[in-house]
Chains A and B, each alone.
Chain A
Amino acid sequence: MFARVLTLTAILALQGCSMIQPVEAWQKGTLALPEMTFDDDPLERGYKEHTYTSKEASSGGSAVGGGGCGCN
């Protein structure tokens, strides 16, 4: 419940944010840099998610599905 409210608030804030200037196609050079994306190294992300879920109680965040493992 708390997480839902937090997300909704954040999304509404983002939409109403007057600091957002629409970025045109010719300005998107920087945004195409791999470090500006959110998943530039899927294999690293796979290792990261798997190792953290095997030693901490939390999981999830930005992806769905994926194979589980025996680290109940």
Chain B
Amino acid sequence: MSSADKNLSVQRYPFRAMGSECEVVLAVKNQAQAYALAQKAIAEVLRIEKKYSRYTSDSMVAKINQHAGLGPVACDDETWALLHYAEQLHEQTQGLFDITSGVLRHAWDFKSAVVPAAEKLDALRNKMGWYKVVLQNQSIALPDVGMEIDLGGFGKEYAADRAAQVLQAQGVSSGYVNLAGDMRFLGAKPSGEPWMIGIQDPRRQDQVVATLPMIQGGLATSGDYERFFEIDDKRYCHVLNPLTGWPVQYWRSVSVAAPAAVVAGCTSTIAMLKEKEGLAFLQATGFDFLAIDSSNQVHMR
């Protein structure tokens, strides 16, 4: 066995995907193997990005949205499973989690920093509503022209889980996949110690408000600081309540640790959407969380 085989140092592979800085971190015996494994994981992230991006014209999501009002679109197994997942979340949250709420981005433009007029919001809300969507025969139909689905609510987290699965299947048992703060862990550092993950202060980008020790499962954070604008000290962030059309205000950030990144991500998003009821919701899930409210108070389990 060469000395390279015995070397179990931690390798980091940064890359850019889904509009953000991402990273694959792993420790394996063979350093040359580490590069190849990371590339496989990165390829899986890019595959999912390409397939479910709202922005590329040939993605599955684009195809479904282009057919809005024009009849059903056949789905492959993966897409079908993701749509069913979205449906279950819609049911479990009584409509609060709704992947047809993406159209609201036409009203809330974070670059122009303008609060939209009520009529514009109402018009868009007519184009929303998962309850209108028809799922049957492994196909999806959006009944009205102008309706859209957007998997941004859990797409990144799903990609983190899938990329981690690629690594685990190849025998990686130390490392993690980090897609702009949505993370899935494969096992402790080679020394057996946990990865110490800093949770960013929602108001100070370079400051960490707490450090969470992680070895398995997923960690995801939703916050009001990723895309927002402020008018008169009031912050309008990108997390929009589909029932009102307005951004949520109660939480500055919610981080959740759960068995998988998708579960962590959806839980943190739902907590943000539930605003004041979010804390009771987080408590009721049994998952571990760190939530910071608008008065900067930290709630943890």
- Tell me if B257 and A29 are in contact (CB < 8 A): yes
Q: Which among A3-11, A30-38, A48-56 touches the partner chain?
A: A30-38
User: Contacts A32-B192, A33-B193 given: A26-B213 contact, CB under 8 Å?
Assistant: no
Which secondary structure dominates chain B's binding surface?
strand
Q: How far is the CB of A8 from chain B (nearest CB, A)?
A: 32
CB within 8 Å of A: which of B1-28?
none
B102 within 8 A of A: no
Q: Chain A 11-30 against B: per-residue CB contact (8 Å), 1 yes, 0 no?
A: 00000000000001111111
Which positions 213-265 of chain B face chain A at CB distance < 8 Å?
Answer: 213-218, 257-259
B188 interface contact, C-beta 8 A: yes
Decide if A29 touches B215 in the complex (CB within 8 Å): yes
Instruction: Give A33's nearest chain B residue, CB to CB.
Output: B213
Interface residues on B, range: 10 to 19
Cα distance, A27 to B185, chains bound together (Å): 11
The CA of A27 and the CA of B194, in the complex, are separated in Å by 11
Q: Is B81 in contact with chain A by the CB < 8 A criterion?
A: no
Q: How far is the CB of B213 from chain A (nearest CB, A)?
A: 4
B258 touches A29 (CB 8 A): no
CA distance A33 to B188 in the complex (A): 10
Secondary structure at the A interface, as helix, strand, loop or mixed, is helix
Chain A nearest CB, measured from B218 CB (Å): 7
Contact B216 A26 (CB under 8 A): yes
Residues of A within 8 Å of B259, CB to CB, are 24-26
User: What residues of B have a CB within 8 angstroms of the CB of A34 in the complex?
Assistant: 192-193
Measured CB to CB, the closest approach of chain B to A61, in angstroms, equals: 23
Q: Is B122 an interface residue (CB 8 A)?
A: no
The 0/1 profile, CB within 8 Å of A marked 1, for residues 254-285 of chain B is 00011100000000000000000000000000
Asked if B114 is at the interface (CB within 8 A of a chain A CB), the reply is no
Taking the closest CB of chain B, its distance from the CB of A35, in whole angstroms, is 10
The reply to whether B194 and A26 contact each other, CB–CB distance below 8 Å, is no
Q: Are A32 and B288 in contact (CB under 8 A)?
A: no
- Nearest CB of chain A from residue B268's CB, rounded to whole Å: 14
Min Cβ gap B155→A in Å is: 21
Q: Are B257 and A33 in contact (CB under 8 A)?
A: no
Encode B128-149 as 1/0 by CB contact (under 8 A) with A: 0000000000000000000000
Of all chain B residues, the one with the shortest Cβ separation from A25 is: B216
Q: How far is the CB of A32 from chain B (nearest CB, A)?
A: 4
- A22 CB to closest chain B CB, in angstroms? 11
In the complex, B208 has a CB within 8 A of chain A: no
Can you show 6 pairs from A to B with CB atoms below 8 A apart? A25-B215, A25-B217, A26-B218, A27-B288, A29-B195, A29-B213
A binding-site residues for B, Cβ under 8 Å: 24-30, 32-34
Chain B contact residues, CB within 8 Å of chain A:
185, 188, 192-195, 212-218, 257-259, 288
> 12 other contacts beyond A27-B288, A32-B213, with CB at 8 A cut-off?
A24-B259, A25-B216, A26-B216, A26-B218, A26-B258, A28-B216, A29-B213, A29-B214, A29-B215, A32-B193, A34-B192, A34-B193
Closest 5 CB pairs of A and B: A26-B217, A29-B213, A32-B194, A29-B214, A29-B194
